[in-house]
Every structure is written in structure tokens, then in C-alpha cells.
Amino acid sequence: MQFYRNMNKNIMSYDKPLTANIDPGREPLNLREYEQAGGYRALRTALLSLEPANITNLVLDAGLRGCGGAGFPTGKKWNHMALGKDTRHPKYLVVNADEMEPGTFKDRFLLEGDPHQMIEATIVSGYAIQADIAYIFLRWAYNRAAQRLTKAIAEAYDKGYLGKNILGSGYSLDIYLHTSAGRYICGESSAMLNAIEGKRALPRKDSHATASGLWGKPTVVNNVETLCNVPHIVNNGVAWYKGLSITKAGGTKIYGVSGKVRHPGAWELPMGTSMREILEEHAGGMRAGLKFRALLPGGASTAFVLEEGLDVSMDFDSLQALGSRMGTGTMVILDDKTCPVDMLVSLQRFFAQESCGWCTPCREGLPWIAKMLVAIDEGAGKTEDLDELAVHAKFLGSGYTYCALAPGATASLESGLKYFKADFERHVHDKHCPWRT
């Protein structure tokens, strides 16, 4: 797997702000180098020239939406956080860097490649919601990111960008790096809060974190890529941010591709770039001897898209209209030499294993789905199994479970049963997997 950056020699790239400082061939910028590249300018502007509400309004007007999967408007979420002298403290900002979604690696790219961007983004965003404490909740396996973030945090404290009375502004913030125990459910925002508190990582029903989050105090949870946009919006303004996109959604997006393509990796491109361009121009198309069959556009918990959908823009609204979701924006490619049933077996086994077990449909339904898929894949399936799988996909969908884990898990299954029905039927009829003969 390789990561690709904007090769513009001007390190403060105007059209690829998130990855302008990233070069996978070298160590990330230290604090002094980051400042020389224009870093921490947004922090000074925010703390010394802007009110917290001004930053939230900028983010709201820019149309920034969550890049972790849900796509919720960031400024709208921040507006739910009460400001003023009489509000409850401490307030918390939690950075979701858990990134456990299969096929997704964009946040790792940002954390390893430009850790000071993450620190500055956390401080500016924390100031906007008047947070006192920030936690970066990091995936357990991201050891390199942990080392680089730890170093960047220490440098920021030494410079006076963290701690008490930052730059004499009267605003104070502490950042703590919290390493995840490694469960997929920890990426669900309310389960993440339980994990930080030292509890079992279970989702909180009808949780409104901005009113009662960490330890019952006001809390905002945002994804890594989402927050990394904030300093650039502060520096360059709403019109600039909207101008980066080729759709009504603003900004750029880090799109990724994994699977049997010539150049798997991640690229920062205008929001709304088509799936075909990402696949064929940036990922280099399919490997020799293979043909494209389908893709999951935003990680393992999104619905399949076929070749006729490749010209659709990779943005929140366009993919929803197509019957899928942008999710994390990192595509998982299915080729013509890979069995779709076998692929779904792998995905459903993962989700069944990662269920927190809190609600019955997810705890019992996902292992049952995985068991049925294994039987079909190994030639022991029955025709009626296909109808039963479809029923399970429906009743593990949105509105039937405690959180979004099971609905996400069954998105690929439901679309797979629709698009690859002939493959399922052949497994049942021939009593073996055609790809293994």
C-alpha cells in the first residue's frame, strides 16, 4: 500500500491543503518546520482575533461534514454545544482516530504524515466549542501515529500552544492521547466515550453528547479528517473552501482505493470526484488480467456499486441517491476473479466478531448470517437460505438495533444478494464455490 501526495513543490498547496505537508518518503514536519510552512497561523488567528462562535459559523457556512462515515454537518453539531460563562465545565472534545473500518486508512495517512496539523486542528476546534480537555482516541495498531502524535503534543506544550492561557488569550486546553483497546465498536461515538471512561465499550441509546457526554459533561466527537479541515477554513475562508469542490459540497476529500488495482493508495482530490476517475486515473485501474466487477465506496459498511455507477460523484448526496453511502470515502474493489460470496463471508465474520453483544438482533443475527454464508460458500447451502439471508438483512437494518453496527454490516449483504444473486444460486446448485475449481 502506498500513499500519494500532491507533488506541488510549494509546500502550502492551495488546492490540496490536507496533504500539502505530507511526503511519505520523509519524517513529518517538526513544529518549527510546520510553522515555516504556515502552520499554527490559524491558531493565532482564532485565539487572538475571533470569538468561538465566529469559528463555528465559518465551519457551518463552509458546509464541512463529518468524514468518519455519517456525514453530519460539523458546524451544526458544534452549535448544539452551549457557550457562555454559565455553561457546565469541563467541556470535552474527542477526536475519533480509531479507524477500525475495514478498507479504510485515510486518517492514518494524516496522523502519520502531518501530526501538527492534527494538533492545531484540535486546538482551534476546541476553542470553538470552548473545550477544556481534548482526547485523541487512537486505534491500538497505529504505533507510528502514536509516536509522532506524542512528539507533536510535547512540542506544542513546549511552545505554549497547549496548556494554560495559550498565547495570552485566556483560553486553556490540554490534549491527551488515548490508545484504543482494539474493538470495532469503539469507533461508535458513544461507545468511545464509555471506553475513555474505562467502561465496557457499549453504545449509549439516544445519546446527546453535547449535553451529556464524557462523565456527564458537554462533549463533541469528531473524526480526524473532519477536524483537519478547520484550520484551513479559518486561514482561507468559506469561498475558498467551497471553490475546492466540484459539487455543492465544499472542500477536498481524501479518497482511497484498496483491492487488486495497480496502485492502491490514498489521494486528496476535489470533493465530488467521480469513482471512475479515482479508480482508473489515480489507482491505475485493475491489475493485468483482471476486470472490475463492483466496489464498496466507503469501507466495508456501505452497499455495493456496479460499473454503471462509476461516473457518479463521490459525495454524500450523490451516493445516497445511488443507494449507497460515501462512508469514509475509501473504496474496496471487487474483481472478476474474486468470489463475491467469499468476500461477504469475510466481511460478515468480521462484523459478527466485533459485535458488542448488547442488542439481540446484532448479537444473534450477525453470527447466524456468517454461518449461513459459510455453508453456501462451502457448498452446503439451500435455496431457501437466500430468502432467509434477505430477511436477516432487513431486520438488522436501521431502526432495529441499538446502534449502526449491524445496519452497516448488512449493507454489503443486502446489495450483494441483489447484484450477485446468480453467484449465490450457482453455489447452491453446484454444491461448491466456482472460484475454487
Q: What is the pLDDT of residues 167-186, one digit of tens each?
A: 999 999 999 999 998 889 99
What does the pLDDT average to over 341-360? 93
pTM: 0.93
**DSSP 8-state secondary structure symbol assigned to residue 12:** S
Burial 260-270 (b: 16+ CB within 10 A, else e): bbeebbbbbbb
Share of the chain above pLDDT 90, in %: 80
Q: What is the pLDDT of residue 5?
A: 41
Of the pLDDT bands very low, low, confident and very high (cuts 50, 70, 90), residue 2 is very low
Longest dimension (CA), the chain: 74
| Alpha helices for 229-333 (secondary structure H) | 230-236, 238-243, 275-277, 316-322
- 371, 349 Cβ separation under 8 angstroms: no
pLDDT over 70 at 212, yes or no: yes
Q: Which domains does the chain have, with CATH numbers?
A: 31-241 (3.40.50.11540), 245-335 (3.10.20.600), 340-436 (1.20.1440.230)
Q: Angle at the Cα of 209 (from 180 to 81), degrees rounded to 5?
A: 125
Which residue, among 291, 357, 250, 302, has the nearest Cα to 17 in the 3D structure? Answer: 250
- 333 in Cβ contact with 369 (< 8 Å): no
Does position 246 have pLDDT exceeding 60, yes or no? yes
Other CB atoms within a 10 A radius of the CB of residue 150 amount to: 12
Query: Which grid cell sits at 169?
Result: 488569550
pLDDT digits 0-9 by tens, 92-129: 999 999 998 888 899 999 999 999 999 999 999 999 99
> What local confidence, expressed as pLDDT, does residue 6 receive?
39
**The Cα angle at residue 67 between residues 142 and 16, in degrees rounded to 5:** 85
pLDDT at 182: 83
